[in-house]
Amino acid sequence: MKVSLPCLVLVPFLCAAALLADGVAFAPAEDTTLTKRFRFEVDLEMDDLSVMVNGQDIGEMLQLEEDMAASMSIDAAVTDTYEKVGGGRPLALVRAYDELVFAYEANGESDETHQDDVEGSQVRFTWNEDDETYDRAFVDEDEEGNLDVLHEDMDLRALLPEGEVDEGDSWEVDPERVLDVLLPGTDPVSLLTAADIPEEGRGFAQAIAEGFGEIGEETTLVCTYRGTRDVDGVEAAIIAVELEGSLGIDLISALSAMELPADADIESATLELQFEGEGELLWNMAAGHLLSFELNADVEIEFDGSVNADVEGNSISAEGQVYFSGEAKWSAGLE
């Protein structure tokens, strides 16, 4: 067999290219068990308030707490056992929900709630090749609950590249999988629409659910491979993450469902959310699973509304805007 000189010249370069390309993939050994903790928190402060009634600014007349602020957090701990793995995903996974806590603080009040209906449960996720989705079932057949609100991906696989990558390569997360990163392991749309929410709050829940359903259309998550580094003796792939997005929610239908004066006409009611930030995913190259994840984003929220009403024979036209800003943080890691 004859080999041309140009081919011989190219061999070292082709070999070098193959060595430089890295495979950052989900591939834990079967029966691997990992305990993971996820945390999402957001801290907000009111920046400005404007209320106009019949053209007169009455914002300064309102009795509001100085430096109005609010914070909210979600903590989740799960233990995953990968019974079977293939094709870059778990084919059979048992998840134990060790802890799920919601906490908030606003206007001097605070609360922390453990979700007792979830904590202590175990759910098996089985990949259904025909439907290209996961079948869900409680390990304990006597348990009951709405499993539609649970998603399998708490590995942040949506951030991984589809194939081998060289240092400096970038890719964008599928818009349909943005929520798998921002709210891993759950489907907020199903959760908000299925939750046992008092009737007076269902309109708001439905409006927010519809907004979440569209978040991927207005949000970009761009990932860039930054090579590897040693993390406590583990070779970790470094994936930088850039987040930019928005969420717009029309609240007219939600407010219309509340008990308002019969002669009140809501002309507009919207919530606009803007966020921008960056973070980093560390991935265990040898074991093929998550090591840690951090993402911080600046957040701006604007509530905007206007209403016309007749009060004791007087026609009143009011409009208002409230502006909040703050920071949102996401973190994940192994315990």
Nearest of 257, 225, 221, 255 to residue 330 by alpha carbon: 221
Q: Which residues lie closer than 8 Å to 48 by C-beta, 6 or more apart?
A: 321, 322, 323
CA 242 – CA 298 distance, rounded (Å) = 12
User: Is the CB of residue 253 less than 8 Å from the CB of residue 203?
Assistant: yes
Reported as half-sphere exposure (CB side, CA atoms, 13 A), residue 182 has a value of 29
In percent, the amount of the chain with pLDDT more than 90 equals: 49
pLDDT score for 35: 98
CA 195 – CA 202 distance, rounded (Å) = 9
**SS3 call for 237:** strand
User: Is the CB of residue 1 less than 8 Å from the CB of residue 136?
Assistant: no
Q: What is the mean pLDDT of residues 113-142?
A: 91
Does 179 have pLDDT greater than 90? no
How distant, in Å, are the alpha carbons of 23, 32, 39, 293 from that of 333? Answer: 21, 16, 9, 6
Q: What is the mean pLDDT of residues 206-219?
A: 70
Nearest-5° Cα angle at 288, 290 to 232? 65
- Here the tokens at position 137 are 């079932």
Which of the given ranges, 59-63, 135-139, 246-250, has the highest pLDDT on average? Answer: 135-139
Higher pLDDT, 309 or 84: 84
Mean pLDDT of the chain: 84
The answer to pTM > 0.85 is no
How distant, in Å, are the alpha carbons of 55, 307, 310 from that of 51? Answer: 9, 11, 18
pLDDT score for 155: 96
Q: For residue 14, is it within any domain?
A: no
pLDDT tens digits, 255-279: 666 666 657 788 888 888 899 999 9
Q: For residue 199, is it within any domain?
A: yes
Q: Which of 142-151, 201-210, 286-295 has the lowest mean pLDDT?
A: 201-210
Q: What is the mean pLDDT of residues 145-154?
A: 86
Q: For residue 15, is it within any domain?
A: no
User: Is the CB of residue 245 less than 8 Å from the CB of residue 44?
Assistant: no
pLDDT tens digits, 76-92: 999 999 999 999 999 99
Q: Which of 84-88, 101-105, 161-165 has the lowest mean pLDDT?
A: 101-105
User: Is the CB of residue 257 less than 8 Å from the CB of residue 203?
Assistant: yes
Give the residue carrying structure tokens 């993402």. 295
User: Is the CB of residue 31 less than 8 Å from the CB of residue 81?
Assistant: yes
Question: CA quadruple 251, 253, 257, 260: dihedral positive or negative?
Answer: positive
| Paired strand residues for 260 | none
Q: For residue 1, is it within any domain?
A: no
Q: Which residues lie closer than 8 Å to 93 by C-beta, 6 or more apart?
A: 80, 81, 82, 83, 124, 125, 126, 152
Q: For residue 10, is it within any domain?
A: no
Total number of domains constituting the chain: 1
Q: For residue 12, is it within any domain?
A: no
pLDDT score for 5: 37
Does 121 have pLDDT greater than 60? yes
The parent domain of residue 47 ranges over 24-334
Does 242 have pLDDT greater than 60? yes
pLDDT score for 300: 96
pLDDT tens digits, 244-258: 998 888 877 666 666
- Here the tokens at position 208 are 């927010």
Count Cβ atoms within 10 A of the Cβ of residue 332 and give its class: 0-12 exposed, 13-18 middle, 19 or more buried: buried
CA 164 – CA 162 distance, rounded (Å) = 7
Q: Which amino acid is at 311?
A: V
Does 302 have pLDDT greater than 90? yes
Q: For residue 2, is it within any domain?
A: no
pLDDT tens digits, 8-57: 344 443 333 333 346 799 999 999 999 999 999 999 999 988 888 888 88
Q: For residue 319, is it within any domain?
A: yes
Q: What is the mean pLDDT of residues 109-135?
A: 89
pLDDT score for 308: 87
